[in-house]
């Protein structure tokens, strides 16, 4: 599987280390994997082991994946029962807003992939008969939401 964000600019390693230090959830470890980077750039939050598995942090796409997984933890998604699309939407917003606040480049491809992922989660939840959050639906439909800066 090709990388999800092949055109993201590389970041300075000191900047990556600073972001990792400031946003890593307390008492959680981060496992960086070259395999995850080369096979789609996916991440995973292991709630039992308190481990974030993310691609090797090199560029904005990798940092977005890391921040997305941090969002799941900081927002308590492993500790509360919410629909999958809402958990994914909240984690996406967390990651994108942190990147925006940190003045990191948000490549258009990263934003459009975010919208696609939320759209897929919405479609899956609709099949289960889950009520869909209007903000998540608006994001997936490509509408700009106030205060997002995106």
Reported pTM? 0.88
Answer whether residue 44 is part of any domain: yes
Answer whether residue 5 is part of any domain: no
Answer whether residue 4 is part of any domain: no
Specify the DSSP class assigned to residue 73: H
Answer whether residue 8 is part of any domain: no
Answer whether residue 101 is part of any domain: yes
Number of domains making up the chain: 1
Answer whether residue 71 is part of any domain: yes
User: How many residues are listed for the chain in this entry?
Assistant: 150
Q: Is pLDDT above 60 for 6?
A: no
State mean pLDDT over 5-23: 84
Percentage of the chain exceeding pLDDT 70: 85
Per-residue confidence band for 110, with pLDDT thresholds at 50, 70 and 90:
confident
Q: Per residue in 62-98, is it b (16+ CB within 10 Å) or e — as a string?
A: bbbbbbbbbbbbbbebeeeeebebbbbbbbbbbbbbb
Answer whether residue 48 is part of any domain: yes
Q: Which residues pair with 51 in a beta bridge?
A: 29, 46
Per-residue confidence band for 39, with pLDDT thresholds at 50, 70 and 90:
low
Answer whether residue 95 is part of any domain: yes
Q: Domain limits at 120?
A: 13-140
């Amino acid at each position: 599987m090709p990388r999800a964000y092949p055109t993201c600019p590389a970041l300075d390693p000191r900047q990556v280390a600073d972001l990792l230090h400031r946003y890593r959830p307390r008492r959680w470890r981060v496992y960086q994997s070259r395999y995850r980077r080369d096979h789609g750039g996916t991440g995973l939050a292991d709630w039992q082991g308190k481990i974030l598995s993310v691609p090797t942090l090199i560029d904005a796409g990798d940092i977005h994946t890391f921040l997305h997984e941090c969002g799941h933890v900081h927002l308590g998604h492993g500790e509360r029962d919410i629909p999958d699309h809402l958990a994914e939407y909240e984690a996406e917003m967390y990651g994108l807003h942190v990147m925006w606040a940190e003045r990191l480049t948000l490549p258009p491809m990263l934003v459009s992939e975010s919208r696609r992922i939320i759209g897929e989660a919405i479609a899956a939840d609709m099949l289960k008969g889950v009520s869909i959050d209007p903000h998540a639906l608006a994001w997936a439909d490509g509408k700009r939401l106030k205060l997002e800066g995106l």
